[in-house]
Structure 1
C-alpha cells in the first residue's frame, strides 16, 4: 500500500491536482515547512492553500527516488520555481489506512529554497487574508534572493576545489 500512497502523491504533484493530493492525506495530517521549524500546516484546511500555491509555482517536476517501508517513505524530485532549480525530499509517515499522516520537507540548493520562500510565502499569506504580511514577506525575500544568487554564482566557486 505504501507505494500506492507515494504514487498518488507523485501523480497529484505532476498533474497539479489538489483534490487528488488531499485524498492521500489523513484529515489531521501535519506538514513541516522546509523553511523553519516554527511553521507547520495541520489538517486539510491548512494544507489545501499550501498545495494550491505549490502547484502554481512548481514546474518541470521529475521524481527520481521513492524508498522506504510501509510506514515511512522518502520521495525525492527535482523541479523549477521560476528560474531556480530545486530538489525536494519529502519524508512521509504513512498510517495503517495508507494515508499520509505527517510530511517533513527538505529543499536544496539554497537559491532554490530562497526562491521557494519568495514565491510561496507571500501567496500563502494572501490566501490566509494577511495582505500586510504578504507585502512584508515579498519585500524581505527579494534582497535575500539576490544575495544568495550572487553568492552561489560568484563566491561559492571561489571556495571550491581548484580544477
Structure 2
C-alpha cells in the first residue's frame, strides 16, 4: 500500500502534477519545511502553495531512493534551482489508508538550501497575500546566496588534495 502511494507521489512530483501529488495526501496533511522550524504548512491548500512554488522553481526532479515500511518512508531526489544542484530527502508518514499525513523535508548542500529559500520564499509569501514579505525575502536572500556560494567554493579548494 505505502509503496503505491509513494510511487504515485514520486511520479507526480517528477511530472510537476500538483493535483496528483495532493491526491496522495490526507486532507489535514502537515508539511514541515526544510527552511524553517518556526512554521509548518497544514492542510492540502497550504501544501498546494508549497508544491506550486517548488514546481516552478526546481527543475529536473528525479527520485533515486524510496525506502521504509507501510507507515513511514524516506524519499530522496536530485534536481536543480538555476545552476545549483539540490538533493532533498522527505520523511513521509502514512495513515491506515496509505495516505500521506506528514512530510518532513531536508535539503543539501547549503548553497541549494539558500537557493531554494530565495526561489520559493517570495512565491509562497505572495500566495499567502504578503507581498511586502515576498520583497523582503527576495532582498535578504541575495547576500546570503553570495556568501554561501563563496564559502562553498572555498570549501572545495580546501578539500582538494
TM exceeds 0.5? yes
- Identify the residue that residue 13 of structure 1 maps to in structure 2: 13
Q: CA deviation at 1:107?
A: 0.2
The superposition leaves residues 66-104 of structure 1 with CA deviations (integer Å, 9 ceiling, x where unpaired) of: 000000100000000111100000000011111000010
Partners of 2:104 and 2:48 in 1: CA distance: 16
TM-score (norm 2): 0.97
Aligned pairs for 1:1-163 within 5 A: 1-153=1-153, 155-160=154-159, 163=161
Gaps in structure 1 of 5+ consecutive residues: none
Q: CA deviation at 1:45?
A: 1.5
Partner of 1:129: helix, strand, or coil?
coil
TM-score (norm 1): 0.96
Partner of 1:97: helix, strand, or coil?
coil
RMSD of Structure 2 on Structure 1 (CA):
0.9
Gaps in structure 2 of 5+ consecutive residues: none
Partners of 2:41 and 2:34 in 1: CA distance: 12
Partner of 1:96: helix, strand, or coil?
coil
Q: CA deviation at 1:159?
A: 3.7
The superposition leaves residues 18-68 of structure 1 with CA deviations (integer Å, 9 ceiling, x where unpaired) of: 100000011000100001111210001211111110111111111110000
Partners of 2:64 and 2:11 in 1: CA distance: 13
Partner of 1:63: helix, strand, or coil?
strand
Partner of 1:145: helix, strand, or coil?
helix
Partner of 2:91: helix, strand, or coil?
strand
